Amino acid sequence: MSMIRDLRAAVRPYRRTPLPSSTPVATGNCVVDCAVYRDGHRLDGYANPDSAIHEVRRGGGFVWIGLHEPSALELSGIAERFGLHPLAVEDAVHAHQRPKLERYDDTLFAVFKTVTYVEHEQLSATSEIVETGEIMVFLGNDFVVTVRHGRHGALGDLRCRLEDGGELLAAGPSAVLHAVADRVVDTYLDVAQLIQDDIDQVENDVFGGGGAGDAGRIYQLKRELLELKRAVAPLARPLHALAERPMRQVHPDIREYFRDVEDHLSRVGEQVASFDELLTSILQANLAQVTVAQNEDMRKISAWVAIFAVPTMLAGVYGMNFEHMPELKWRYGYPMTLSVIAVVCTLMHRGFRRNGWL
């Protein structure tokens, strides 16, 4: 149990440790890193997948192969050596999968949706806030293959943290699965906090009096929040299965700590649901503000139309040029008509202002 506590302590602060320059990274193919672990320690000299697999099958331990966006041809060799199911291999190549957990004979296949927050100076109706990617994990008794899709979610720093723990990897490949799941869910928490900052800003703008044009930003936030929800919600069942259902590939001590990851995921799910409800309320308030503003504008327009109807009516009557009209030949008829128009319009203007229409 103390080993597992050390594992949690090592995995949590993964973001602060850069990838050391000594970590082997293959260029020209999809293999990011490959290593053999025995008794919790990394063995030197097995950066090639073929030699690593041979060493594990000969002397024990397990191999961890990290891939980035492999093609079907690049993944086929590893799939053949480890006996990976063709359906799982196809999902790992094409990506765009929902979070899930599937079991094929002695192999587990897990899909995690990764998210990252896209920094922006000013939130607009077209701002991208959440960018998604995927991490697939093939887990067997003596191997773990991680397949990453997307520009974020690199696992090099996480691997270094696990290796620095010495005996932390002694629990076997399932320790890697737990570390990946824990890292992904912790990232959800971070992204949710940053989205909350955006929601707070929009809320302040709407209720601060200048929110007439914020409907587009609110809709964009709801769309981006949906991206996070698509990553969080489907992951609940796989994590529950890992936490509650005994599996040969998962060490019993590691299985207990999937409950902690499941609890964190529940917190994120509750946050996402509350954010969605809050954005709905903010949107309704914004639309109510727009409606009130439109009503006020219509009252002002109606008031001015009524005022200008007076001179329009008088000018229309006297513009008909009938021969017998009141005061038509009077010397002061024109000044009197203008005076009547001015008095009536002034009285109407004062009345509309007193009633709040102007």
Domain ranges of the chain: 2-288, 298-354
Q: What is the mean pLDDT of residues 163-176?
A: 82
Q: Give pLDDT, residue 2.
A: 47
121 CB burial (10 A radius; 0-12, 13-18, 19+):
exposed
Encoding tokens for residue 340? 């009547």
Q: What is the mean pLDDT of residues 158-166?
A: 83
Q: What is the mean pLDDT of residues 291-311?
A: 81
Q: Is residue 171 a contact partner of residue 38, using CB atoms and an 8 Å limit?
A: no
Greatest mean pLDDT range, 1-15, 34-48, 151-165, 234-248: 234-248
DSSP 8-state assignment for residue 298: H
Mean pLDDT computed over every residue of the chain: 82
Report the share of the chain in percent with pLDDT over 70.
Answer: 87
Q: Is residue 202 a contact partner of residue 216, using CB atoms and an 8 Å limit?
A: no
Q: Give pLDDT, residue 322.
A: 65
When pLDDT is cut at 50, 70 and 90, the band that residue 327 belongs to is low
Higher pLDDT, 302 or 133: 133
Does the pLDDT at position 212 exceed 70? no
Does the pLDDT at position 16 exceed 50? no
Residues in Cβ contact with 320 at an 8 Å cutoff, skipping those fewer than 6 apart:
none
Q: Which residues of 293-331 are buried (b: 16+ CB within 10 A; e: fewer)?
A: eeeeeeeeeebeeebeebbeeeeeebeeeeeeeeeeeee
Q: Where are the beta strands (DSSP E) in the chain?
A: 31-38, 41-43, 62-68, 100-104, 107-117, 130-139, 143-149
131 CB burial (10 A radius; 0-12, 13-18, 19+):
middle
Our CA angle for 223, 228, 233, nearest 5°, is 120
Q: Could you tell me which residues are beta bridge partners of residue 108? A: 103, 139
166: number of Cβ within 10 Å: 14
Does the pLDDT at position 252 exceed 90? no
Q: Is residue 288 a contact partner of residue 212, using CB atoms and an 8 Å limit?
A: no
Residues in Cβ contact with 70 at an 8 Å cutoff, skipping those fewer than 6 apart:
30, 92, 93, 147
In the block, tokens 């697999």 appear at 53
Does the pLDDT at position 20 exceed 60? no
Q: Give pLDDT, residue 213.
A: 55
Fold of 2-288: Beta Polymerase; domain 2 (3.30.460)
Q: What is the mean pLDDT of residues 160-172?
A: 81
Does the pLDDT at position 113 exceed 90? yes
When pLDDT is cut at 50, 70 and 90, the band that residue 185 belongs to is very high
Encoding tokens for residue 239? 């994590």
Please say whether the structural domain 298-354 has been given the CATH code 1.10.3720.10. Answer: no
Higher pLDDT, 295 or 43: 43
Q: Which of 10-24, 248-262, 293-307 shows the lowest per-residue confidence on average (mean pLDDT)?
A: 10-24
Our CA angle for 58, 64, 67, nearest 5°, is 130
Q: Give pLDDT, residue 328.
A: 67
Q: Distance between CA 112 and CA 96 in Å, rounded?
A: 11
pTM above 0.85, yes or no: no
Phi, psi (rounded to 5 degrees) for 103: -120, 125
Q: Could you tell me which residues are beta bridge partners of residue 130? A: 117
Q: Is residue 269 a contact partner of residue 233, using CB atoms and an 8 Å limit?
A: yes
Q: Give pLDDT, residue 19.
A: 33
Express each pLDDT in 41-73 by its tens digit.
888 888 888 888 888 888 888 999 999 999 888
Q: What does DSSP say about strands 100-104 and 41-43: parallel, antiparallel, or unpaired?
A: unpaired
Does the pLDDT at position 239 exceed 70? yes
Q: How many helices (H) and strands (E) does the chain have?
A: 10, 7
Q: Give pLDDT, residue 14.
A: 35
Among 1, 6, 5, 51, residue whose Cα is nearest residue 24? 51
